[in-house]
Amino acid sequence: MLAPIFKSLGHEVTVYSPDEHPMKEAVWQGIHVRHVFNKESVLGTWGTLLYDLLCLRDAFRSDFDIILELGYVPCGIFYPFYLSGRNRRRPKVITNMDGLEWRRSKWNALLQRFAELTERLGARYSDAMIADNEAIRQYLLDKFGRDSRFIPYGAEVLGHLDEGLLAPYGVMRRGYFMLIARMEPENNIEMILDGYLQSGDSRPFLVVGKTTTAHGRYLTDKYASVPSVRFLGGIYDYAVLSALRGHAEIYFHGHSVGGTNPSLVEAMASGAFVVAHDNPFNRSVLEDSAGYFKTVDDVANLVALDVEAERIAYVQANRKKVSSEYGWERIARAHIRLFEEVLSASDATALRGREFVRSKEAHGRGKQEWE
């Protein structure tokens, strides 16, 4: 969502996209799209590494003022080669540091060490850093002694949630539980589902997210004999997702490795009653307007609890917070202010208006490609 708003504010925007992505247009809503060799489907991690190298090489050869890098893995490994010459005229690199990528269990020990190295390089060489969560900002300050700018993800508050959109999934308002997540251990999906089953509640539990990962296959196998646990795969229609989240009895958010997950902010915007894994990252977003869990027993107790007394107050507080703090235009303007400050600090007299936004996906709402 950022790139279209940058464009509407009068700036020239270029987004980089993998050549395997189905969106092949060179221009989208006035935004330039450069399609770069990726072949991650064949080369795996090496394809991603090559993609980042080619994107950065092309960007540094272009007449950009700002490179906005969304994440430091694996691009951080190339930062010393492009950013060590501090005095020459070059684009300024601003890195959104995302979460604690090196803690993600989907990577083996070697890749986790590599991710921690790229985090360190990103923190050292970026002209400025963005933290999408106040707890991440404090983490970066404690670990690297360097401050970052807190700019969260955004969401769109919808005034009406169409109950008719629930029909294809065989559920009714307040008649189910749900979560949306990547199928990875650190998202605590197994803990949530085990707690749900321990509660004895017979209402269905909808799980949204691709199940093609190793952990996804493990989960589908484990709960294959439980008809009330329904794995729906990926859903990318924002209106459908908002209706599912907003009309659920409880929306569970199990993410635990840092940052502000876009699906959490969208759940708040949809009017969901949110129950989240208890960690500093989720608490910095939800504060006192959510239930929290750390164990299977916590989940079971929350499922069994009558939440209606808290629902109205929590939902109103979260939707108000999204409207006041997480609106997309507000967030886009916060980026622009940071861009201007970085350029001003390097004796630039004005933001000439060429922002480069790199994204691993290039088109489609639900996948956060333009964020």
**Where in the chain do CATH 3.40.50.2000 domains reside?**
2-154+327-358, 163-325
pLDDT in tens, 150-204: 999 888 888 889 999 999 999 999 999 999 999 999 999 999 999 999 999 999 9
pLDDT at residue 361 tops 70: no
pLDDT confidence of residue 88 = 60
| Sequence-separated (6 or more) residues with CB below 8 Å from residue 110 | none
Of 13-27, 217-231, 335-349, which range is least confident? Answer: 335-349
| CB of 341 closer than 8 Å to CB of 213 | no
pLDDT in tens, 334-347: 999 999 999 998 75
Fold of the domain spanning 163-325: Rossmann fold (3.40.50)
Average pLDDT over residues 289-309: 95
pLDDT in tens, 28-52: 999 999 999 988 778 877 888 899 9
Task: Return d(Cα 177, Cα 237) in angstroms, integer.
Answer: 19
- In 167-228, at which residue ranges do the beta strands (DSSP E only) sit? 177-180, 205-208
Average pLDDT over residues 298-306: 95
Assign 98 a pLDDT band (cuts: 50, 70, 90): confident
Q: DSSP letter string over 117-167?
A: HHHHHHHHH-SEEEESSHHHHHHHHHHHS---EE--------S---GGGGG
pLDDT confidence of residue 85 = 62
Looking at domain 2-154+327-358, what is its CATH homologous superfamily?
A: Glycogen Phosphorylase B; (3.40.50.2000)
Which pTM was predicted?
0.84
pLDDT confidence of residue 31 = 94
